[in-house]
Structure 1
Amino acid sequence: MKKIATLALCVLMLALTAPAVQAATPQAGAPKADKPAKVDARSTPVWVELEGTDSIGARLGMRLKEAFNGSNLFSLTDKDMPKMRLLVSTQSEFPGRPGVGSVYSICWTFTQGEGYLGYLLAREVGTLTYEEIDALVNRLVERTDGLSVKYSNLWK
């Protein structure tokens, strides 16, 4: 009787594990291709327009363009398309000593394209020396990113 019970238990265990073994074996079909979900990358089109003749301001404008061009968050473009424009105006703080300091004004605007009126998003005014250029560029890029997130509906 004990042998019959053991045999019945083995048959029952085998019957219960048969569907699991069958599910574990790979099916004889073509494997499905691995298609990762498409991620919508955030890249804001920007353009920097510089107005001014002082050397500190020219360096500020070039560093801003370099920072935007090297960033994955922005695409530096002058194409006729919706974009954020940074209007940078600089002037020597002391006309008699042009290398001492510079006064700058930056306006962030949104333009739909050429021939459209730009919309003012933000503005900033300040003074600047050669030593402060890199820190100011980093701060302006961060602020531009914040504005691009805040007004992201304009680029859609």
Structure 2
Amino acid sequence: MKCFYHHDKDAHAICKNCGKAICSDCSITRKDEAYCPDCFSNLIAYHEKNLSKMRMIYIVSIITAAVVFFMNVEKSFEGALLMAMWFGSIPIGLYYAFRARSPYVAITLEGFGQLLLIRLVVALLFGPIYTLLSVINYLKAAAILRKNKALLEEIISR
């Protein structure tokens, strides 16, 4: 079988997503799975979209924190700072609380309300923790994305 991109070379792998035969020059291996340049490019675009969504949530969080801080700074600087950190983490907490899968399926409107209330409480209580973990994961994902983009450019330039 010949490579989809280089018709003169023998293929040594099959793309995990699209099934194209690819040679060793075209193959991009991640977690023991081979990808063609097109599918790897699509995967990078998907991750860029997710990072962009997280940046928007961070912007909303920063604006929320700034508003809360400046509304309360005259009373107490330390109190305003703590409140800003807590309220600033709410958008991130809500994002993660509502993104999490739940084994509970609400059948009634009352059950739906209870599920919604539980998720809101979780977002409020664990928002600061979600924020810290989210920023760490964002930084790791951004670094991996930069490496993957460089790898894709190297593969394409061959």
Instruction: Report the TM-score, using the length of structure 2 for normalisation.
Output: 0.26
**Is the helix fraction higher in 1 or 2?**
2
Larger Rg: 1
